[in-house]
Structure 1
Amino acid sequence: MKTSIAVMLFTLMHLLILAQENKEVEPSIIASLIGNDWVGEGNLMEQKATFMMAWESLWEGKFIKLEFQNKRKGNDDNKIVFKAIASYKIGDDGKVLGNWFDSRGVSFPLRGTVKENMLTILWGDVDSENGKTIYLYKNNNVLVEDFILVNGRFSKFGNATYIQNIK
């Protein structure tokens, strides 16, 4: 009986180890974003839009830089182009601090967290608009959702699915 239990436990342990070795693990979102250009399609303020983002490591990984752009049609059928640059400092504890600068002439602080395949950024302060952006790395795509804080509640105003722009 003891031998049977030992054989069963050994077999179970072996199967668990094999399952772990064969399990595909998504790379961290930061490792996946850095050094890549991403193009996306989605919606922005109830309009179809196209998106671009490029992430790079700065000063030996001390900071991360995001260059961002979206395009959509305005009410008069003219294209509206919005551009921004953000810098991020990611701590060993997964906390994120940064700053945002955009083509409207607006800047605000960024803070957030990174956990495995998700980056969550809260943006704004008492003197500006406030919102949240969630980046999710899944199946070699980046899914992004943008929310603005209105009357104490987050309201989604944009979403996009990005693929890596292979040059």
Structure 2
Amino acid sequence: MVRAIAAALLLAAPAAAQPPSPSAQTQATDSLAWLVGRWEGIGTMFLENSLARLEVRPVLGGRFLELSYRAGGFLGDRFEGRAFYRSVGDGRWQATWFDSRGASFPIAATLSARTLTAEWGSAETERGRTVYSLAAGGRLEIVDSVRQPDGSYREFANHSLSRAD
């Protein structure tokens, strides 16, 4: 049994080792190219002043975009999260979020012009929304909100970032 699995893996390895085509490499970044890069800025998180950093880069042969986010007080980071986004077509994106609290969430996001709206969480976890908007002057506005039992959203973080690269 082990030999059969090993043989199957060896036979599949040449196909898996082929580099993705140029179109596949750019697939993940085509419509979110404006978000790719390093960003830094200030804002508030849980009503306290906060510094935020966001790095967005293509990964895994360009098939995904990795969003790596850190936010917290000026004396050190208090929160860190990472998501892997992939386009599912028609301005829709799917991702999975992992953070320093040990939480992970599914994400369903929509893109409209230069705004990515990510609805995160599930019935088994908390739910919320993060909106990434490219504002006039090239600033990236990030607003995080948690969903309340009545279906409304309560903002808990708001940052304005500039390109750092």
Residues 105-146 of structure 1: CA distance to partner in whole angstroms, max 9, x if unpaired?
100100010111000000000111100001101221101111
The 2-side partners of 1:109 and 1:92 are apart by 17
Displacement of 1:69 after TM fit? Answer: 0.3
- Percent of aligned positions with the same letter in both sequences? 26
Residue of structure 2 in register with 1:33 after alignment:
35
> What one-letter code is carried by the residue in structure 2 that aligns with 1:127?
E
Residue of structure 1 in register with 2:85 after alignment:
88
The 2-side partners of 1:118 and 1:61 are apart by 21
CA contact (8 A) 2:70 2:77 kept: no
Displacement of 1:67 after TM fit? Answer: 0.6
The 2-side partners of 1:60 and 1:115 are apart by 25
**Alignment TM-score, normalising by the size of structure 2:** 0.76
Residue ranges of structure 1 left out of the alignment (5+ in a row):
1-27
CA contact (8 A) 2:41 2:160 kept: yes
The answer as to 2:144 corresponding to 1:150 is no
SS in 2 for 1:57: strand
Cα-Cα RMSD: 1.7
**Alignment TM-score, normalising by the size of structure 1:** 0.75
Gap change, CA 1:56 and 1:101, over 3 Å in 2: same
- Whose Rg is larger? 1
CA contact (8 A) 1:40 1:50 kept: yes
Moved over 2 A (4+): none
The alignment covers a number of residue pairs equal to 134
**1:34-49 correspondence to structure 2 within 5 Å:** 34=36, 36-49=37-50
